[in-house]
Amino acid sequence: MKTDGCRHWKEELGAYALGHLSGEERAALEAHLEGCPACRAEADSLFAVSRLLPHADPERFGPAPQPPAELGRRIAATIGSERRSKRRQRRLRLGLGFAGAATATAMAVLAIFVLSSGSDGGPEQHVAFRDLPSGVRIAATLEPQAFGTEIHMYVKGVSSGTLCRVYMRGPGGDDVSAGTFRYRWGADESAVLSAALDLSRAEALVVHAGKRTFVAPLDRGEATDSNTPQEEEST
Amino acid sequence: MPSGALTDERDVREAYSAHASELYGFAVRSLGDSGLAEEAVQETFLRAWRAGERFDPQIGSLRTWLFAILRNVVIDLGRARAARPTVSDEGIEASIEPFDEALLSWQIEEAMRRIGDQHRRVLVETYYRGRPYAEVADELGVPEGTVKSRVYYGLRALRVVLEEMGYED
């Protein structure tokens, strides 16, 4: 059967699938559907679509937001550096004859961990803040310098433009300012700050991000080299 | 390793240019925050790259695979947030609908964006706003029959676009 003859009926099918036909129109159309498998199949497939419509929000039919241009570059850069460090790890593993070193990378998230690199410039400390709001990540690397401590701050997950003020807490609870920076979405670089306090004497790293304050105690026992802390009990 | 696996950086770049805007659009809708959406998309491509050897185009499309990864990323994010219901810092809170419902909504909205203006318009007026066909016809300066046929062709177009997008019932 030529379906051209059904054209009138077909054009009713949209309104039919949306439940917009009057009783009379519907009765006439349904009488036609009884005898026309092609129109019936078309009606079924339109019902499959019309059933989906309630799930959409017409307020959201406008242009969809587009990812910022730098997101692609950032992902490429992260992958590039991950690939390079993987390669380095592989070399290291081969060199040391490690077999099951892969498991060594399994590590508790947001626990404070301290690494002593012990290479040039003395031991640096890696600090991760715990008990953060979900979605927020704050971490830092502290390097002892002649002037005090160099701080590489890494913040993620707070609002773009948030003002962050960083302090190092010395013995006795005195905070020494390390400066300020603003967190921007997309800027994946760490902020480099400095404080005139020896890392070996620092008790904690304090970050005020917007209205919130985060404190990460520093592990002085392992991070310090020859200088033993003088006021271990003070908080 | 299946051919087509996502193992080198060029593959990731190509996957990004093909699918990032869709993933991002959905992530914004689902997370309600553009910053979190960026992180979710970034995490999705990183996980895709790390697991790139396991991607097999014989099994499913790259798009489907990326959305499945994004699903896990968003769920992880939601779980992390659910564990801390008291947090109320600006930019951290965002509504999180159950993922599959949000994905369904987003796919239909995206399909609506892709069909012609005329088709979308009559569907919005007659279906979402519930206006009589005669009134819509008057406003558009066309016969009522034209509004009806646009509704029909609009639904058909929607069906085609959803199929193209890989919508599975």
Residue span of the structural domain in which B158 resides: 115-169
Q: Residue A131's pLDDT is what?
A: 79
Cβ contacts of A110 within 8 Å, gap of 6 or more:
A128, A129, A130, A131, A132, A137
In a domain, B103, yes or no: no
pLDDT in tens, A37-87: 999 999 999 999 999 999 999 999 988 889 998 999 888 888 888 877 776
Supply the ipTM of this predicted assembly: 0.78
DSSP SS3 for A62: coil
In this structure, the answer to whether residues B87 and B126 fall within a common structural domain is: no
Q: Residue A230's pLDDT is what?
A: 39
Between chain A and chain B, the number of residue pairs with CB atoms below 8 A apart is: 170
Intervals of chain B under pLDDT 50: 1, 85-96
pLDDT in tens, B41-69: 999 999 998 888 788 777 778 888 899 89
What are the tokens at A153?
A: 């701050």
Say which CATH architecture domain A110-223 belongs to. Sandwich (2.60)
Q: Is A210 on the interface with B (CB under 8 A)?
A: yes
- Chain B residues with beta carbon closer than 8 angstroms to that of A136: 89, 92
Give domain limits for chain A.
3-60, 71-101, 110-223
Give chain B's domain count: 2
Q: Residue A24's pLDDT is what?
A: 94
CB A206 within 8 A of CB A168: yes
Q: What is the CATH number of domain A3-60?
A: 1.10.10.1320
Intervals of chain A under pLDDT 50: 1-3, 95-121, 221-235
CATH number reported for the structural domain that contains residue B139 in this entry: 1.10.10.10
> What percentage of chain B has pLDDT greater than the value 70?
85
Query: Inter-chain contact B24–A66, Cβ cutoff 8 Å?
Result: yes
Q: Model pTM?
A: 0.56
DSSP SS3 for B156: helix
CB A125 within 8 A of CB A216: no
